[in-house]
């Protein structure tokens, strides 16, 4: 990548070429979002489970699908739920030729707004056809239900061309939480996937971890002059003064502040109680968060001397997780005066 100097007087700063290779990697964040649907949408979910589709009827007589929780005209809570047909008309559509994982179909398909017979609003869903030539506004379509249904919109696998309703197969899905009380609770998987490009300082830091080294940066001037940041920063967060050098730090330090984790939570890898602490590495000026293990949680204290416990070298990645945890060294505690300005 070449660097083009900005025109004279331009507010755009010149960006120099990085001196170190820039690391990139796929980054996937995912979790299950748990939601209580409430009294109105629960009836919609339970109808889908049963192979039916329902909507809400408002004070103006119009039927909304999916049902709305409050009347669009008066704002009153919805009370009237009515069945609609599983057959409807495409009102508008777009072709999707590159399906992504988790979408309704694994082949090219159409996204369409479909006004079901008996409804006054349109429902967004997939239509399974072979090509865009098979799609048109006004196309009559019918719902095709999955066998295993869980009270979700994807209980309808897709819509297919045709006027004739298709009976849903016998449900083979698990029992729906809250179904007996009419208060359905569902889990929706949420996932984002991107390609993350590290900054130059992050790249040096991560490459160091892969080699079993802890790399920080020293700020050259300004408010933070002489301070060593770990993880490294390219500039001071206080005034933007640039870092002037990389500093290799030892894997020993002290506990500044800490928290004893007593509450279990989903995905927890360590049985409580355990300690999450800010560790100030020797020679650095900013503590970072990590685990303190190999001792009773009640024995951890401010000023405790600790040392990194690394995973076996053949398990090292570009990750701070190469350090399993920190453990007490048994050395005398640091005097409070030596770290009070780093809390």
> pTM of the full predicted structure?
0.65
Question: What is the Cα–Cα distance from 324 to 306, expressed in whole angstroms?
Answer: 13
Per-residue pLDDT for 191 more than 60? yes
Question: What is the Cα–Cα distance from 67 to 326, expressed in whole angstroms?
Answer: 54
Provide the 3-class DSSP secondary structure of residue 85.
Answer: coil
Average pLDDT over every residue of 160-172: 96
Q: Please tell me the chain's helix, strand, coil percentages from 3-state DSSP, rounded to the nearest 5.
A: 15, 35, 50
Question: What is the Cα–Cα distance from 297 to 118, expressed in whole angstroms?
Answer: 63
* C-alpha of 74 from chain center: 37
Mean pLDDT of the chain: 94
Average pLDDT over every residue of 287-301: 97
Average pLDDT over every residue of 316-325: 96
List helix spans (H) across the chain. 38-49, 200-210
Per-residue pLDDT for 10 more than 90? no
**pLDDT tens for residues 219-273?**
999 999 999 999 999 999 999 999 999 999 999 999 999 999 999 987 888 999 9
The proportion of the chain whose per-residue pLDDT surpasses 90, expressed as a percent, equals 85
**Strand order from edge to edge, sheet including 81-84:** 63-64, 53-57, 81-84
Q: Which two tokens stand for residue 2?
A: 């070449």
Question: What is the Cα–Cα distance from 300 to 263, expressed in whole angstroms?
Answer: 18
**pLDDT tens for residues 118-159?**
999 999 999 999 999 999 999 999 999 999 999 999 999 999
Question: What is the Cα–Cα distance from 303 to 257, expressed in whole angstroms?
Answer: 8
The alpha carbon torsion through 238, 242, 245, 251 (nearest 10 deg) reads: 30
Question: What is the Cα–Cα distance from 341 to 343, expressed in whole angstroms?
Answer: 6
Neighbouring CB atoms inside 10 A of 292's CB total 22
Residues 6+ apart with CB under 8 A from 134: 161
Pairing verdict, β 156-161 and 305-310 = unpaired
Question: What is the Cα–Cα distance from 270 to 97, expressed in whole angstroms?
Answer: 44
Q: Which two tokens stand for residue 170?
A: 């016998």
């Amino acid at each position: 990548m070449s660097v083009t100097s900005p025109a004279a007087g331009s507010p755009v700063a010149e960006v120099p070429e990085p001196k170190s290779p820039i690391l990139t990697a796929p980054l996937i964040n995912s979790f299950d979002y748990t939601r209580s649907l409430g009294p109105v949408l629960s009836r919609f979910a339970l109808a889908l489970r049963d192979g039916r589709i329902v909507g809400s009827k408002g004070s103006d007589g119009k039927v909304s699908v999916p049902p709305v929780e409050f009347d669009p005209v008066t704002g009153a809570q919805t009370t009237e739920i009515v069945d609609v047909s599983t057959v409807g008309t495409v009102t508008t559509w777009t072709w999707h030729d590159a399906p992504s994982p988790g979408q309704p179909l694994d082949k090219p398909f159409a996204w369409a707004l479909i006004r079901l017979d008996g409804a006054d609003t349109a429902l967004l869903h997939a239509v399974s056809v072979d090509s865009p030539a098979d799609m048109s506004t006004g196309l009559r379509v019918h719902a095709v239900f999955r066998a295993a249904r869980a009270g979700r919109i994807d209980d309808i696998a897709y819509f297919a061309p045709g006027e004739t309703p298709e009976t849903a197969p016998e449900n083979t899905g698990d029992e729906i939480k809250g179904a007996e009380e009419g208060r359905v609770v569902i889990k929706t998987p949420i996932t984002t996937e991107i390609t993350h490009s590290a900054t130059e300082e992050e790249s040096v830091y991560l490459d160091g971890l892969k080699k079993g080294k802890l790399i920080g940066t020293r700020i050259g001037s300004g408010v933070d002059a002489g301070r060593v940041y770990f993880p490294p920063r390219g500039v001071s967060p206080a005034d933007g003064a640039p870092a002037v050098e990389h500093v290799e730090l030892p894997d020993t330090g002290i506990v500044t502040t800490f928290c004893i984790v007593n509450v279990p939570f989903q995905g927890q890898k360590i049985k409580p109680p355990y300690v999450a602490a800010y560790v100030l590495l020797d020679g650095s000026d900013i503590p970072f968060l990590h685990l303190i293990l190999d001792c009773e949680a009640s024995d951890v204290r401010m000023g405790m001397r600790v040392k990194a416990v690394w995973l076996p070298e053949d398990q090292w990645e570009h990750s701070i997780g190469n350090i399993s945890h920190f453990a007490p060294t048994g050395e005398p505690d640091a005097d409070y005066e030596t770290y009070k300005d780093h809390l």
